[in-house]
């Protein structure tokens, strides 16, 4: 079976857009050229990849499976070529990182020092508001849209490498501003009557673990429900209520938040530097991992 790489790339664009005209525009080709490529590809694979209709094209079940395969193959080839170029040379090229919104700020605050040491590395940062959406979509790493993800969960796929980046400690916090007008709770039972802020997404419930348990579930009702760490930080610092948030050395040093129950054990959540196995040994990935290990110390509780 003889496939051209260009033919597979064209198919990926057509499969994503579902429209020959839009695909041709994106590829800098004419619509008849793209149409002939797709007809030729269907003939070579000997199966229907699309259902044609008046508004464009819809992938068949076989077409969807073939698209996933093509994305993986083309992505692996592209990243593999980059890795071959990079090995045994000075780290260079673009590094694509996808993470939750809370990870980007400390990176940007320290990126100048990294760039001075590795001036040939450039970046593309992609963020998701809810980091658990990222875990669900981490498989974009297999098609070359991202090189690295930072996520708080292990993925059960042998194609990925994961290295512990840091452990964050979830604590129960309120701001001095909030505590000026509300009594300091002495126990979890004292939270009754307080404005309690919760993480609302089902997979984020792990972050509510210290504040929500069998003893408090019967009387605690959320005053505000949020779906991102930065939103929780903003709400807490501005005195909106009491809630769980990851320990942050800088926030605590500035006195922006008060640990409500300092004797309560930490709820530790590990975050992992996640990448496809084909990037193993990449000089730029190794350099960036070392950089992130240093940057994320801000979340390591003494």
Tell me the C-alpha distance between 140 and 97, whole Å. Answer: 11
Establish how many alpha carbons lie within 13 A of residue 155's alpha carbon, considering only the half-sphere containing its beta carbon: 24
115, 258: one domain: no
14-42 core/surface letters (b: 16 or more CB in 10 A; e: else): bbebebbebbbeebebeeeebbebbeebb
Where does a domain end: 25, 58, 81? 81
Rg of the chain over Cα atoms, rounded to whole angstroms, equals 24
pLDDT value of residue 204: 60
105, 157: one domain: yes
Cβ burial of 207 (10 Å; 0-12, 13-18, 19+) is buried
- Do 74 and 5 meet the contact criterion of CB atoms below 8 Å apart? yes
Output the domain CATH number for residue 76: 1.10.10.10
75, 149: one domain: no
Structural domain containing residue 72: 5-81
Total-model pTM = 0.68
Give me the DSSP letters along 26-69.
HHT--HHHHHHHHHHHHHHHTS--EEEETTEEEE-HHHHHHHHH
110-166: pLDDT as tens digits: 999 999 999 999 998 877 655 555 555 554 554 455 678 888 888 777 778 899 999
200, 278: one domain: no
32-84: pLDDT as tens digits: 999 999 999 999 999 999 998 877 889 999 999 999 888 888 877 877 777 67
Strands (E), the chain: 50-53, 56-59, 93-100, 121-128, 148-151, 160-174, 196-199, 222-226, 242-246, 258-259, 267-276
144, 283: one domain: yes
148, 281: one domain: yes
Give me the DSSP letters along 86-110.
HTTS---EEEEEEEEHHHHHHHHHH
Where does a domain end: 81, 101, 131? 81
62, 105: one domain: no
158, 177: one domain: no
Q: How far is CA 60 from CA 1, 13, 44, in A?
A: 21, 15, 16
244, 179: one domain: yes
| 113 CB-near residues (< 8 Å, 6+ apart) | none
Share of the chain above pLDDT 90, in %: 47
Tell me the C-alpha distance between 182 and 190, whole Å. Answer: 11
Output the domain CATH number for residue 174: 3.40.190.10
176-188: pLDDT as tens digits: 999 999 999 999 9
How many separate domains does the chain show? Answer: 3
118-134 core/surface letters (b: 16 or more CB in 10 A; e: else): beebeeeeebbbbbbeb
- Do 272 and 162 meet the contact criterion of CB atoms below 8 Å apart? yes
259, 119: one domain: no
165-223: pLDDT as tens digits: 999 999 999 999 999 999 999 999 999 989 999 987 655 677 888 888 777 878 888 89
Where does a domain end: 81, 109, 143? 81
11, 68: one domain: yes
138, 285: one domain: yes
């Amino acid at each position: 079976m003889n496939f051209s790489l260009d033919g597979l790339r064209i198919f990926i664009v057509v499969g994503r857009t579902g429209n020959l005209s839009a695909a041709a525009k994106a590829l800098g080709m004419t619509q008849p050229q793209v149409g002939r490529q797709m007809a030729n590809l269907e003939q070579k694979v000997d199966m229907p990849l699309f259902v044609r209709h008046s508004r464009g094209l819809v992938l068949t079940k076989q077409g969807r499976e073939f698209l996933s395969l093509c994305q993986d193959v083309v992505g692996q080839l592209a990243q593999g070529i980059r890795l071959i170029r990079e090995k045994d040379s000075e780290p260079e090229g673009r590094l694509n990182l996808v993470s939750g919104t809370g990870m980007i700020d400390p990176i940007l605050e320290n990126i100048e020092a990294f760039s001075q040491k590795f001036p040939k590395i450039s970046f593309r940062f992609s963020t998701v508001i809810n980091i658990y959406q990222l875990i669900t979509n981490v498989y974009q790493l297999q098609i070359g849209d991202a090189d690295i993800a930072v996520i708080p969960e292990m993925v059960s796929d042998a194609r990925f490498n994961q290295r512990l980046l840091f452990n964050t400690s979830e604590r129960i916090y309120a701001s001095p501003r909030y505590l000026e007008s509300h009594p300091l709770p002495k126990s979890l039972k004292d939270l009754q009557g307080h404005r309690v802020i919760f993480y609302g997404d089902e997979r984020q419930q792990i972050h509510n673990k210290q504040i929500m348990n069998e003893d408090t579930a019967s009387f605690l009702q959320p005053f505000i429900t949020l779906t991102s760490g930065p939103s929780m930080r903003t709400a807490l610092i501005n005195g909106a209520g009491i809630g769980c948030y990851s320990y942050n050395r800088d926030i605590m040093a500035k006195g922006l938040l008060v640990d409500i129950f300092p004797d309560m054990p930490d709820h530790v959540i590990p975050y992992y530097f996640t990448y496809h196995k084909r990037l193993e040994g990449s000089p730029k990935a190794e350099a960036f991992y070392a950089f992130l290990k240093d940057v994320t110390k801000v979340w390591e509780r003494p």
